[in-house]
Amino acid sequence: MPPGERTRKDEGEAWLSCHPPGKPSLYGSLTCQGIGLDGIPEVTASEGFIVNEISKKSIHISCPKESTSSKFLAPYTTFSRIHTKSITCLDISSGGGLGVSSSTDGTMKIWQASNGELRRVLEGHVFDVNCCRFFPSGLVVLSGGMDAQLKIWSAEDASCVVTFKGHKGGILDTAIVDRGRNVVSGSRDGTARLWDCGRSACLGVLADCGSSINGVAVGAADNSINLGSPEQMPSEREVGTEAKMLLLAREDKKLQCLGLQSRQPVFLFIGSDAFNCCTFLSGFLLLAGTQDGNIYQLDVRSPRAPVQIIHRSGAPVLSLLSFRDGFIASQGDGSCFIVQQDLDYVIELTGADCDPVYKVATWEKQIYSCCRDSLVRRYQLSDL
359 and 270 within one domain: yes
187 and 38 within one domain: no
Q: Which residues contact 377 (CB under 8 A, 6 or more apart)?
A: 75, 77, 78, 79, 349, 351, 352, 368, 369, 371
pLDDT at 229: 94
Is residue 20 scored above 50 in pLDDT?
yes
Answer whether residue 314 is part of any domain.
Answer: yes
Answer whether residue 146 is part of any domain.
Answer: yes
Total domains, the chain:
2
Answer whether residue 154 is part of any domain.
Answer: yes
**Strand 201-208's sheet: what is its strand order?**
171-177, 182-187, 191-196, 201-208
Is residue 4 scored above 70 in pLDDT?
no
Is residue 35 scored above 90 in pLDDT?
no
**Three-point CA angle 35, 38, 44, nearest 5°:** 40
CA-based Rg of the chain, rounded to a whole angstrom?
21
pLDDT at 383: 56
Residues 151-160: tens digit of each pLDDT: 999 999 999 9
Check if the beta carbon of residue 242 is closer than 8 Å to that of residue 261.
yes
Answer whether residue 268 is part of any domain.
Answer: yes
Answer whether residue 197 is part of any domain.
Answer: yes
167 and 63 within one domain: no
User: Measured in Å, how far apart are the chain's first and last C-alpha atoms?
Assistant: 20
26 and 153 within one domain: no
How far, in whole angstroms, is CA 123 from its chain's centroid? 24
How far, in whole angstroms, is CA 358 from its chain's centroid? 7
Residues 43-87: tens digit of each pLDDT: 999 999 999 999 989 999 999 998 899 999 999 999 999 999 999
pTM over 0.85: yes
Max CA distance (Å), the chain: 72
- The secondary structure of 220-279, three-state, reads ECCCCCCCCCCCCCCCCCCCCCCCEEEEEEECCCEEEEEECCCCCEEEEEECCCCEEEEE
User: Count of CB atoms within 10 A of residue 37's CB?
Assistant: 5
146 and 57 within one domain: no
Residues 106-143: tens digit of each pLDDT: 899 999 999 999 999 999 899 899 999 999 999 999 99
Q: How far is CA 262 from CA 47, 118, 268, in A?
A: 58, 42, 16
**Rounded CA separation 177/244 (Å):** 9
230 and 154 within one domain: yes
Range scoring the smallest mean pLDDT among 12-16, 204-208, 327-331: 12-16
Q: Choose among 252, 188, 187, 177: nearest CA to 217.
A: 177
Structural domain of 250: 125-130+139-337+352-363
Answer whether residue 384 is part of any domain.
Answer: no
56 and 168 within one domain: no
DSSP symbols for 116-139: --EEEE----SS-EEEEEE-TTSS
146 and 69 within one domain: no
Answer whether residue 49 is part of any domain.
Answer: yes
Q: Residue 369 belongs to what H/E stretch?
A: strand 366-371
Average pLDDT of span 217-234: 95
**Rounded CA separation 170/186 (Å):** 9
260 and 185 within one domain: yes
- Domain end call among 34, 54, 73: 73
318 and 177 within one domain: yes
288 and 149 within one domain: yes
**pLDDT confidence tier of residue 215, bands split at 50, 70 and 90:** very high
Check if the beta carbon of residue 7 is closer than 8 Å to that of residue 27.
no
Answer whether residue 53 is part of any domain.
Answer: yes
280 and 175 within one domain: yes
**What CATH number does residue 182 fall under?**
2.130.10.10
Residues 263-276: tens digit of each pLDDT: 999 999 999 999 99
Question: Is the alpha carbon torsion for 260, 262, 266, 269 positive or negative?
Answer: positive
Q: Choose among 161, 83, 173, 167: nearest CA to 130.
A: 173
